[in-house]
């Protein structure tokens, strides 16, 4: 039976995402100067104020205030009118040393015996409805805001945009569980003040329809056929949106976990990612299960796959691995049998996840806006500066969990030609 499905995204200027980006910038800086750092860092942002809190075990010493200001500056909060501005906001740090009780459950004499940093269950998901094996509604929601942010930075075609924004996409699916068209799009974007609210609303809606949407269709031709003249648009549906960002709403690390993953498709274990070093399986195992799910779908094992893994704190071996193919398996195996094959193929002990996906590198700032999954795997050069002026340049590989490097191994294991 046909149905509708909706996913949302938020921009890099959304207060919760500001918090995520600051937390992950701290993670990157700690890992850049000390790859063995153990970090759990939370950020709160509000009007004119940033509060950092968390636990750290590291040899690195950082200027956390300047790192936070650099992130805020890069996002675009650089005007006093925003009531939250990089150079003038207060930055309070309450970061302290990590609990020895937690650390003793993680560190081991043998690296391969490294225990999980916490208990919990993590999920990875993949579907063949898009080229990057992500749910289409979420991919479109991210794309809308990525291009809106690009228009803001270009400051040519649209000149009134401010950093905070949200999007939502509703897709229509057919009887075969395939997306056929976009049913509705919601865009709420922060903006400069206008003389007239009526003129403002008309201008923003027109620009979304005649500048943003055509830009997306041109830049992402694979999505062209989903757009149609019957899409229901809701642009700034509450009206005026001048007060936004951390001045409009308090932001906290880890409040956008569904935006960060699959937009409500599949499942989520509940643990946030940003601000956590890879010894925290909330993060590393979620990346590892995405890597598994994506390679399974790409290899043709199934059209849609959900993978769950669970841990006990301080224990290296997972409590269990679960696979659900939603009845789309292309191999003559039960989901339980697929799970056993996955367990034999992918070592899910924390040390091996960290090693396989190169997670003890400063690769996390890029994950903190527009989703942790479905992103481009690439090698980049990053630069870090210590408080004493030392500059460290480091070549790192981003989004390693998006690599299709296990497809041939999966095909061999499942006897797929």
Nearby residues of 343 by Cβ (< 8 Å), 6 or more positions away = 321
Give the Cα separation of 105 and 98 in Å (integer).
12
**Cα–Cα nearest to 91, from 140, 26, 174:** 26
Nearby residues of 87 by Cβ (< 8 Å), 6 or more positions away = 69, 73, 78
Residues in the chain: 417
Q: DSSP labels for 280-313?
A: SHHHHHHHHHHHHHHHHHHHTSBSEEEEEEEE-B
Give the Cα separation of 50 and 191 in Å (integer).
23
End-to-end CA distance of the chain: 33
| Backbone φ, ψ for residue 258 (5° rounding) | -75, -40
| Backbone φ, ψ for residue 45 (5° rounding) | -125, 140
Q: β-strands 304-311, 120-127: how paired?
A: antiparallel
Known binding-site residue numbers for L-methionine: 55, 98, 249, 280
Distances (CA, A) of 162 to 46, 156, 176: 17, 14, 41
Known binding-site residue numbers for ATP: 14, 164-166, 240-241, 249, 255-256, 272, 276
Dihedral angle sign, alpha carbons of residues 263, 120, 376, 40: positive
Give the Cα separation of 14 and 214 in Å (integer).
24
| Backbone φ, ψ for residue 70 (5° rounding) | -60, -40
Known binding-site residue numbers for K(+): 42
Rg (CA), the chain: 22
Distances (CA, A) of 362 to 31, 57, 272, 297: 6, 16, 18, 28
Known binding-site residue numbers for Mg(2+): 16
Burial of 134 (0-12, 13-18, 19+ CB in 10 A): buried
Q: Around Cβ 403, how many Cβ atoms within 10 Å?
A: 15
**Cα–Cα nearest to 301, from 124, 122, 126, 121:** 126
Q: Give the CA count within 13 Å in the CB-facing half-sphere of 369.
A: 26
Known binding-site residue numbers: 14, 16, 42, 55, 98, 164-166, 240-241, 249, 255-256, 272, 276, 280
Encoded tokens for 178: 């395939």
């Amino acid at each position: 039976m046909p149905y509708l499905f909706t996913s949302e995204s938020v921009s890099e200027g959304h207060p919760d995402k500001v918090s995520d980006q600051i937390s992950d910038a701290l993670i990157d800086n700690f890992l850049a100067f000390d790859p063995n750092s153990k970090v759990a860092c939370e950020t709160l942002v509000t009007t004119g104020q940033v509060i950092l809190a968390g636990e750290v075990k590291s040899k690195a010493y950082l200027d956390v205030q300047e790192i936070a200001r650099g992130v805020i500056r890069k996002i675009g909060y650089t005007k006093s009118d925003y009531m939250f501005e990089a150079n003038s906001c207060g930055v309070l740090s309450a970061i302290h040393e990590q609990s020895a009780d937690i650390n003793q459950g993680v560190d081991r004499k043998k690296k391969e015996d490294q225990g999980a940093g916490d208990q919990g269950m993590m999920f990875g998901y993949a579907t063949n409805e898009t080229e990057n094996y992500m749910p289409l509604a979420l991919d479109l929601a991210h794309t809308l805001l990525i291009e809106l942010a690009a228009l803001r930075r270009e400051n040519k075609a649209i000149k009134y945009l401010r950093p905070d924004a949200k999007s939502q996409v509703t897709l229509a699916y057919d009887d075969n569980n395939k997306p056929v068209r976009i049913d509705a799009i919601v865009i709420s974007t922060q903006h400069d003040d206008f003389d007239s609210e009526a003129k403002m609303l008309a201008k923003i809606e027109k620009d979304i329809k005649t500048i943003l949407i055509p830009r997306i269709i041109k830049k992402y031709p694979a999505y062209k056929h989903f757009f149609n003249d019957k899409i229901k648009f809701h642009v700034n549906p509450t009206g005026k949106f001048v007060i936004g960002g951390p001045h409009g709403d308090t932001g906290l690390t880890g409040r956008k976990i569904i935006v960060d993953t699959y937009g409500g498709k599949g499942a989520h274990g509940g643990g946030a990612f940003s601000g956590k070093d890879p010894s925290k399986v909330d993060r590393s195992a979620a990346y590892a299960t995405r890597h598994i799910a994506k390679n399974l779908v790409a290899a043709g094992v199934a059209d849609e796959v959900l993978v769950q893994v669970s841990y006990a704190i301080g224990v290296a071996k997972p409590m269990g691995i679960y696979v659900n193919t939603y009845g789309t398996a292309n191999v003559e195996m039960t989901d339980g049998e697929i799970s056993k094959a996955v367990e034999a193929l992918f070592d899910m002990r924390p040390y091996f996840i960290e090693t396989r996906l190169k997670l003890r590198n400063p690769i996390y700032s890029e994950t903190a806006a527009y989703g942790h999954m479905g992103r481009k795997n690439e090698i980049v050069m990053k630069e870090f500066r210590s408080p004493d002026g030392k500059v460290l340049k480091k070549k790192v590989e981003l989004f390693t969990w998006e690599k299709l490097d296990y497809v041939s191994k999966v095909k061999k294991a499942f006897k797929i030609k």
